[in-house]
A and B are shown apart, each in its own frame.
Chain A
Amino acid sequence: MRCAEATEILWSAAEEPGAELPPRLSVHLASCAACRATAEEIAQVWRLLGDFPEVEPGPDFKAEFYRRLRASPAGEVRPPGRQPVPGWHWLAAAATALVILVIAGSRLTLPPPEIAGSATGWQDRWDDGFLEELERTLVNLDAEYLSAYDSWPGLAAESPATEPKSSAPARESQSKGEIRNEGA
């Protein structure tokens, strides 16, 4: 065995302390003082790497994480223990859109409720603001979903089976179109 080969094996062996050395390496070390010294150096260097300073996360790490999660555009956060329906945000968005359609549709036939101290225009502005906010939420959900998907490591090498479901985006875009029409 040549010393260069021995060195390479010694480095691999250092990654698994306590493991048995290959017999031919042991034979080589028995007769090569230089490689015995190299073996000791390699072992020490590998051990030394274990002294890389460690840091302790702050005590508020988890709290900060959940704060960021709530503040993110997707914004979904559920307390531990609850069991939501999978794909809930798509269902929630569709349900919200349906409710808005029902409310908006009912406004065509029913007189607007009287609000003490304000004209009907106040109610119209509230509805428009709500619709605009819903529009932004849906757009942001879509962008967040696609952003996470596009940035998925190695996604380009994956099979088409990992493509996102097509039904939810179609339903969402249909809802958006209806909301736009209603809000126009």
Chain B
Amino acid sequence: MDPVDADASLMLSFRDGNEAAFEQLLDKYHRIIVNFTYKFVNNRAEAEELAQEVFLKVYRSRERYEPRARFAAWIFKIATNVSLKALRHRRGAPPVSLDAGPEGKTAWRLDPPDLRANPERSLAKEEVGVIVRRAVGSLPVREKTALLLRRYEDLSYREIAGIMGCSEAAVKTYLHRGKGRLRRLLLPHVKGGV
């Protein structure tokens, strides 16, 4: 175990009965985990539900916790499985979420402006967010998972491989494919002047 993994130390302390240690972990990770699950399901309410489930699993698994890896890798493993399980249950649902958006504003626009037609116009931040969200959401599950864990959670290839149950070479392949797709999806908007 990484000697400076303070979060693993907190979890061990919680395992030994220190409830305050769990509360520290909850304070630190709840926003992170909500945003991680949000990147899978694109719905804030559902993302919070899934995050609750993640922390319930963390809480109930305390007595069997062993710090074989960084705590972050462990909790993201749980969060990934919870999110993928939710996605499996959603099969058949419309692929685009028309939820009101995180700040309760009106539904996101489905068709961001085509900058090739009006290259001088720069995208508003919200529009950029829509484009990025749609692009990431369109990735195949494995590529999306690898990308989310690498780009947004900064996990190592080895940690991602442990979470996804595959080799590091497979992780690199998923990332390579995912990045290629994203480049094709996002390039028109990059050239249009973001």
Q: A residues bordering B, Cβ < 8 Å?
A: 8, 11, 15, 41-42, 44-46, 48-49, 51-58, 61-62, 64-65, 68-69, 72, 74, 78-87, 144, 148-149, 151-154, 162, 164
Contact = CB atoms under 8 A, between A and B. Distances in A.
A81 B19 contact: yes
B16 A51 contact: no
Nearest to B150: A15
Contacts of A44: 190, 194
B187 interface: yes
15 contacts: A41-B191, A42-B179, A45-B179, A45-B186, A45-B187, A48-B132, A49-B182, A51-B128, A51-B129, A54-B102, A55-B34, A57-B48, A80-B20, A81-B19, A84-B17
B114 interface: no
Given A55-B102, A87-B63, 18 more contacts: A41-B190, A42-B183, A45-B183, A45-B190, A48-B189, A48-B194, A49-B136, A51-B129, A52-B152, A53-B130, A61-B48, A61-B52, A69-B56, A80-B20, A144-B60, A151-B57, A153-B78, A164-B64
B102 A62 contact: no
Nearest to B33: A57
Contacts of B191: 41
Contacts, number: 129
B151 A49 contact: yes
Nearest to A165: B63
A87 B16 CA distance: 10
B121 interface: no
Contacts of A152: 61, 64
Contacts of A57: 30-31, 34, 48, 51
A10 to B, nearest CB: 10
